[in-house]
Structure 1
Amino acid sequence: MRYIYLLTILLLFSCNNERTLLLPEIENATVTEVLDVSPAYIFYDETEPDSTLLNRKNLISTTNWLVNVDKRLTLKQAIPKIIMMQEKKRNAKMHKNEDAKNYFTCNDTSIQNLGFLEFTDVVFNEKIKIDTVYHKYNLPTKENLMSKAGFHAQSTIPLVFDEKNQFQIGKQQFNIDNLKNELDKLTEINFIGIHLQLYFNKSLSFQEYITIKRKIISYNSDLISVDFNEYIY
């Protein structure tokens, strides 16, 4: 039986209740089928104190996990639940499968079917103070990043995404639509390559987060790498 059919049934009758979970949308997902899976759901529920309801009772640690997150949730609401599930799998002492992966389930509008975004190795870091994190990790500050006279080795570039569909590099702020253009400029300056560290405002919706991640993943190349640590501020 195809997993798509199973997912539809589970979404309709999860917890013996009819609940609506709006999946985030992406285009041209690189993964469109995952086998040997178990699902988890993070619902948008205004009756809960943090507006989230987690159903993970069907998760099996040795399988690939499909995490279904309602796109209306903010990162502040969704990330703690995601971290909880990641730690459960990483800390499993028995029946561990090193090959099992974690995916976010999405609606791939380009094929009118499901698509999946892997996040197995991503480590989410919460409650980061954006004004101090650069010093803590020995990174250039936002003020002096772009004032340097060129780069002489692969450079770690902090990309700071705010809640207004904009991102910041150094002191400069850009619309998200200009992301590829600005990364191309950075790789022209540093032909050795750049390493991106991603900072996300906690007020971003999960849909906005998925949209940004899909864009960045599509830019991965010999000159652009992305840190597995992601920071929520």
Structure 2
Amino acid sequence: MKQLLTLGLLLIMFSCGKEKVLQLPEISHSEITEIYDVSPAYLFYDETQKDSVELNRKNLISTTNWLVNVDKRLTLKQAIPHIKYLQNKKQNSSHKKKSAKNYFTCNDTSRKNLGFIEFTDVVFESDFKNETLPDLKADSYFGLVEFNSFEKIEMTVIYGEHMETLNLNFDDLLSYIRESKALTLKLSFNSNISFQDYISVKSKILSIDSVSLQLFNHELIFN
């Protein structure tokens, strides 16, 4: 198999000679730029398929780091079930290695090269009624962020017995996070948003340099 990165595209040439193009999500900066000992998986956007998504995972080795290449045009509703399938496959493998991680592959526009976002320990949930919340310290803030679009974000902030709901756009949310102290965030996303928007949100929040910010590893994908 051969692959080529060009302007945010992965050109995949399979042994049968069939070519497929995958559009990687774009980010402006990535802290992770090199990963070794890897196996790739691909989630293609395919307009000819009923659900517009196709998973290719033929070359995955459970003892390696997995690079999951997701087409940015897919919605979370389309992509997340396949991503959860890959997580479970690796987790349940009898040959898995603790040091082997899972990463989303992105196009880092600032470097004009690949960048990566780790999601090894992310738990994707799908039910408001059974969602998991972190154990909070008495002097810490908890923010439950409900993301529908960059202009429509609802954030419920809990501090002790006090609770308030804020309606924000994305820039306001980032400013709130930067100015907060002892803040734990749980992110939730509308399942109809694109994988590109999901990656944009994650990369921007992960890039905030704050020792007081903690991202809860459970994420809710809601309808």
TM over 0.5, yes or no? yes
1:122 to partner: Cα distance: 0.6
Alpha-carbon displacement from aligned partner over 1:63-82 (angstroms, at most 9, x marks no partner): 00000000000000000000
Partner of 1:70: 71
Alpha-carbon distance between aligned partners in 2 of 1:40 and 1:210, rounded to the nearest angstrom: 17
Q: Percent identity?
A: 48
Aligned partners of 1:121 and 1:228 also within 8 Å: yes
Alpha-carbon displacement from aligned partner over 1:198-222 (angstroms, at most 9, x marks no partner): 1011011000000000011112532
Residues 1:99 and 2:85 are matched in the alignment? no
The SS at the match of 1:43 is strand
Q: Residues 129-208 of structure 1 correspond to what in structure 2 (within 5 A)?
A: 129=128, 132=129, 137=133, 152-163=138-149, 165-170=151-156, 171-187=165-181, 193-208=182-197
Q: Give the aligned residue type for 1:218.
A: S
Partner of 1:27: 28
Alpha-carbon displacement from aligned partner over 1:94-145 (angstroms, at most 9, x marks no partner): x22110011100000001111111111111112x34xx568x7599xxxxxx
Deviates more, 1:70-79 or 1:6-15: 6-15
Deviates more, 1:23-32 or 1:175-184: 175-184
Aligned partners of 1:220 and 1:226 also within 8 Å: no
Q: Which has the higher strand share?
A: 2
1:19 to partner: Cα distance: 1.2
Residues 1:86 and 2:87 are matched in the alignment? yes
Alpha-carbon distance between aligned partners in 1 of 2:74 and 2:24, rounded to the nearest angstrom: 11
Structure 1: segments with no counterpart, 5+ residues: 140-150, 188-192
Partner of 1:190: none
1:62 to partner: Cα distance: 0.4
1:163 to partner: Cα distance: 3.4
Q: Give the aligned residue type for 2:169.
A: N
Partner of 1:144: none
Partner of 2:213: 224
Alpha-carbon distance between aligned partners in 1 of 2:44 and 2:104, rounded to the nearest angstrom: 14
Alpha-carbon distance between aligned partners in 2 of 1:64 and 1:152, rounded to the nearest angstrom: 38
Q: Give the aligned residue type for 1:42.
A: L
The SS at the match of 1:180 is helix
Q: TM-score, normalised by structure 2?
A: 0.85
Structure 2: segments with no counterpart, 5+ residues: 157-164
Please tell me the root mean square deviation across aligned C-alpha atoms, in Å.
Answer: 2.4
Alpha-carbon distance between aligned partners in 1 of 2:110 and 2:133, rounded to the nearest angstrom: 39
Alpha-carbon distance between aligned partners in 1 of 2:43 and 2:85, rounded to the nearest angstrom: 12
Q: TM-score, normalised by structure 1?
A: 0.82
Aligned residues: 208
